[in-house]
A and B are shown apart, each in its own frame.
Chain A
């Protein structure tokens, strides 16, 4: 494979605090400090004038639906959507069919990844058998099979005692436990945030308190056991405050926020659009601002998409009956740049840190860096290009995005995984 020479890019590497116009050199799939004059002549050149070159984006929260729900998404289509969104590493959730609570399913996923994936995919395993919240899954064997974390995502372990045992047990393997924070006793039949809008629309409300309670529970268990608990898709203002205080005490708590929770509020639900239905739900402006403040001061560690594909016929229903979840991979960068960059004046290297180095480090993954010697995973994007997103024209198998038809700013041009161009100017470039 010839060497690669990315020229004249604004190179941003949050890990190395680098932000300057310059070049990147890649040989044998890894970053190198420079190329010899002879190698430069032979190298494939990419003119990245006007583009940002950053580490390939890392998303530790995606649903690729394989095995079992491949009508919604597959590892092949999901990783192509990831590549189109600038992501080079993704972590997929275990709520497949069957769920990933056994080493056989993990091995199956790894086999399909080896065959079909165009970006790096790491699996997670379940916390409990069948994600039923009743008995622990074989966490040690799952770790040995290759999971990078355990989670019952989509479900939340309701028993405090079982959760305590799970995090204690997982701590042995230094395996983070990721939790979807929801007290089910408070959210029976709930389909959206509880508040003025749910009252107006006559839809059942999902109160912040149901998230706050489990966030607090997890903080208590993390401190009690010393285990690392990662809180998925935080949506509530009070939860942000609980996490902030836990971190000042040194608790091993981390947290993520999704692009949709920082971009949208429940006011948007007046249309009863099922593409705005997700769990946790869109909340109020106050919550949205608190999450953004949490990202600013480090209370919330990272951005993760919760990319959750569903087919048109599954989503095209009465709001009450539509499944939760929306696509995220192909719009995440543009939406995050818009909210954190344009609206809230976050510096670009900081935004990219939330989507590269930090999520990689959170789950002890390689990637998220442009350092010499590292695997050459790169995202090249034009921060100023305006484009109109259409989920139907995207790479995901599903179309359930609220951003279809909207003009977004910031577009991924080229994605490299291990020095190989996998996405370039709107096309997937590998078989």
Chain B
């Protein structure tokens, strides 16, 4: 099937075939990024607006970089400078951007479902760069892209996602991508942050770190937010580290070829031992690098989506 989708709102709505096409396109861009001219003219003359209504540095930079490598013009709005603080509604803000002749919108927003909402209002492509605790599809795509580079097919691979799953959009996007690609996913963390509801998404939920890490081929760590402690989701960062932090002993339970992933930013010494984060099994910086190629693929494919294809 050729690519016809205009918006990338969730991974949940993508077919396996579409995920594979994004990955294949990302591979082509990754090769293009290794040339002397690290730029292709695919989106020349298009203007992409990064509407970041929640603070973000790395995702916004990665999208900007990707857009520029595609020769698009980029305008970035961030939370501090936007009119969100002046009480303007998202609809008004988006309609203004369309009136300014933006060709595409990349949105990061604290409210789950807001990219879907925008896609219904606007007739230009909308790319979700993270909506609340819902999804962060490009992160899920770049994580699985990175896993495939190391492991080949993910079918039957044992993947552990460890940490604050409840509030994590990264976890949700990875769960959808990994289950579609046939991986065996286990979520691990304190019961307060890994509710049993997740089993309905086709994954296992465990609070036994040792059992879950045994022979796992990928362990993906998620950032532990200090705010969750205040809200009573766990007693203290110290207790979290002692119960669920990844250290060398625990890493030795993994499959010898296992890779360690983290979407960043890392809390060194909290969810992961600092040496492990820099160690040879860590692919954290590869994730960042792959993030450019994957986001180029997403922007390119959605820009080429068919206008009549609404979702």
**Chains A and B in contact, CB within 8 Å:** yes
**Does any Cβ of A come within 8 Å of B143's Cβ?**
no
Residues 148-184 of chain B: 1 if any A CB is under 8 Å from the residue's CB, otherwise 0? Answer: 0000000000000000001001001000000000000
Count of A-B residue pairs with CB < 8 Å: 59
A360 to chain B, nearest CB (A): 41
**Does any Cβ of B come within 8 Å of A33's Cβ?**
no
Check A318–B117 contact: CB distance below 8 A.
Answer: yes
* Segment among A68-76, A198-206, A236-244 that sits at the interface with chain B: A198-206
Which residues from B are CB-within-8-Å of A203? Answer: 112-113, 132-134
Determine the residue in chain B with the shortest Cβ distance to A314.
Answer: B89
Which residues from A are CB-within-8-Å of B201? Answer: 199-200
Check A196–B134 contact: CB distance below 8 A.
Answer: no
Which residues from B are CB-within-8-Å of A195? Answer: 197
Partner of A200, one of B90, B116, B200: B200
Q: If A201-B112, A319-B111 touch, does A196 touch B90 (CB 8 Å cutoff)?
A: no
Check B116–A272 contact: CB distance below 8 A.
Answer: yes
Q: If A196-B197, A196-B200, A318-B113 touch, does A202 touch B172 (CB 8 Å cutoff)?
A: yes
Check B169–A202 contact: CB distance below 8 A.
Answer: yes
Which residues from B are CB-within-8-Å of A313? Answer: 89
Interface residues of B in 102-130 (CB under 8 A from A): 109-114, 116-117
Q: If A201-B134, A202-B131 touch, does A320 touch B89 (CB 8 Å cutoff)?
A: no
Determine the residue in chain A with the shortest Cβ distance to B111.
Answer: A318
**Count of A interface residues, CB-CB < 8 Å:** 20
CA distance A313 to B90 in the complex (A): 11
A202 to chain B, nearest CB (A): 3
Determine the residue in chain A with the shortest Cβ distance to B131.
Answer: A202
Which residues from A are CB-within-8-Å of B250? Answer: none
Determine the residue in chain A with the shortest Cβ distance to B133.
Answer: A202
**Count of B interface residues, CB-CB < 8 Å:** 26
Check B134–A202 contact: CB distance below 8 A.
Answer: yes
**Does any Cβ of B come within 8 Å of A173's Cβ?**
no
Which residues from B are CB-within-8-Å of A316? Answer: 89, 91
Interface residues of A in 112-163 (CB under 8 A from B): none
Which residues from A are CB-within-8-Å of B195? Answer: 199
CA distance A199 to B134 in the complex (A): 8
**Does any Cβ of A come within 8 Å of B198's Cβ?**
yes
CA distance A321 to B112 in the complex (A): 10
Determine the residue in chain B with the shortest Cβ distance to A313.
Answer: B89
**Does any Cβ of A come within 8 Å of B135's Cβ?**
yes
Interface residues of B in 229-264 (CB under 8 A from A): 231
Check A319–B197 contact: CB distance below 8 A.
Answer: no
Check A318–B197 contact: CB distance below 8 A.
Answer: no
Check A272–B200 contact: CB distance below 8 A.
Answer: no
Check A202–B200 contact: CB distance below 8 A.
Answer: no
Which residues from B are CB-within-8-Å of A188? Answer: 231
Determine the residue in chain B with the shortest Cβ distance to A274.
Answer: B117
Q: If A201-B113, A272-B113 touch, does A317 touch B89 (CB 8 Å cutoff)?
A: yes
B49 to chain A, nearest CB (A): 18
CA distance A317 to B134 in the complex (A): 17
B194 to chain A, nearest CB (A): 10
Residues 164-206 of chain A: 1 if any B CB is under 8 Å from the residue's CB, otherwise 0? Answer: 0000000000000000000000001000001110111111100
A198 to chain B, nearest CB (A): 8
The 4 closest A-B pairs by CB, nearest first: A202-B134, A272-B113, A318-B111, A202-B133
- For the A-B complex with A202-B134, A318-B111 known, give 15 more contacts whose Cβ atoms are closer than 8 Å: A196-B197, A196-B200, A199-B166, A200-B12, A201-B134, A202-B132, A202-B169, A203-B112, A203-B132, A203-B134, A204-B133, A318-B90, A318-B109, A318-B113, A320-B132
Would you give 9 A-B contacts (Cβ < 8 Å), ordered by A?
A203-B112, A203-B133, A203-B134, A271-B116, A272-B116, A313-B89, A316-B91, A319-B111, A320-B110
Q: Measuring CB to CB, which residues of chain B are less than 8 angstroms from any residue of chain A?
A: 12, 89-91, 109-114, 116-117, 131-135, 166, 169, 172, 195, 197-198, 200-201, 231
